[in-house]
Structure 1
Amino acid sequence: MNPLVTSAADHQRGVGATLLSVNVNKVALLRNTRHLGIPSVVRAATLCLEAGADGITVHPRPDERHIRAQDVHDLARLLRAWPQAEYNIEGNPFHNLMAFVRDVRPQQVTFVPDSEGQFTSDHGWDLAADGERLRPLIAEAHSFGARVSLFMDADPAAMALARAVGADRVELYTEPYAAAHGTPRQAEQLAAFAAAAQAALAAGLGVNAGHDLNQPNLVDFLRAVPGVQEVSIGHALIADALETGLPETVRAYQRCIRQAHQARPA
């Protein structure tokens, strides 16, 4: 059994801390500006894992603007040497994602409703429109041993629908919270995300979170939102690493996670 896989019920009982998965897309984006092969995505992932990251995330888009198909396979080989860590591949299952699921068989796949040319992920699934199309693809991912997480807005009413189509987890799209952090709307956003997480847990789903989470806003989020099993952080973490280096940055994010859990009531 993968020691990183804990159930929604475990988190409702307070068992287990939030795991940190580092998204290395921005390392690949920088590398792709030249033809020298640097910085190395595999080396960056190795440094993150050595520093205590719990997993690695990639989001290979069809145009390969950052992560390329070869990176997905190279990282899969790397992670075989890190059985305690988890590989999470994100993407739109109606585009190029399922080929990677079949070939690589990661521990987790996150279905994201991006268009092919979309600048960055900016909304969750509309399951009333897409749920039935997603259902067989979720089942296929399960057949390869992958946990399936759906990228979702903080809408409590949608959580039961996510479970009904077969998802194991949801990844809450956190940009609205990040944009409100430090403003009068912060409490409102935290309440909305807490309600969505509670609804997900009640539906039997695990809860992940990601998009624009960073060191200043992560502690407040994890203190307020129950049962978050994993955060996937890329842009801010890589930006911080330009100043402090990847190993120290990973350790800093893990300190934020520990601080949040230590501050929560038992």
Structure 2
Amino acid sequence: MATLIQQIINGLSLGSVYALIAVGYSLVYSILLFSNFAHGGFLVIGGYICYGTLRTFGTGIWMSGALALAGAGLAAVLTERLAYRPIRERTNVTLYLLIASMGMSIVIENIFVIVAGGRFRALPPVIPTAPVNLMGMATTSAFDLLSLVSAVVFLGALQLFLSKTRWGLAIRAAAYDLRTAGLMGVNVNLLISIVFFVAGALAAVGGIFLSVRYTLYPQLGAITIKAFVAAVIGGLGSLPGAVVGSLILGLAEMLTAGFISSQMRDLVVFSMLVVTLLVKPTGLFGKSVSEKV
């Protein structure tokens, strides 16, 4: 029983980090109807900014984390303006945006390979990883609990932003119909920039926690493919779906690793993707959408 509780907590912790990343995928998809595969690059940018400020300037985790969120968010906005906006202004075919996002993912990854090198780096021990005893029922890591709580805080703040602010209302309206929202007076370009900034900042939070859980290296963004799988399982474009799909995926990974074999984690993850696409292609909470014309 203790092992089961421990694996469930570990799975919720990992799933919560996936949720931060998957929500970014779903936010962009809900507005522009394309999957932004450069999203993993923003995760890497956040991780390296946090690492660099901690190592170079000796700032605390709070300041380094804030700079990482701001830097990754601005990088996402810049990527949208330089790579995606010119395409949006010329055509409504979202396939071109998808192809451009793949190219930007490779560009960002190789920039860090050239500038920072390909070696693995460990963040300074600024996030506690000591074991925590849960009333004698199980033992887990302080890092797992902290990542779970942090994800809840950030996702809660996002929900408040979307439900209580004017721009949150505009984002929800644009998710139904971007063109109509523009006709009603919404500054579409600014709204899209806000969406990309929020998505990039959330990816940076995930990048910091994944850098501690594993290590930091230029290809760390590849792990976002699992967050994308979680978004597909939950339903692309649905923020609650992204969260639920991520928690399901995190639990499936950790329970598989704990009770079957760690080598089967990826097999289980991508088998769930295939089953979802076969049984319910729109995901648990997704809706059928057509290509924007």
| TM-score interval (norm. to shorter) | under 0.3
TM-score (norm 2): 0.25
Query: More relative contact order in 1 or in 2 (CA 8 Å, sep 6+)?
Result: 2
- When you count helix as a share of all residues, which structure comes out higher? 2
- When you count strand as a share of all residues, which structure comes out higher? 1
TM-score (norm 1): 0.27
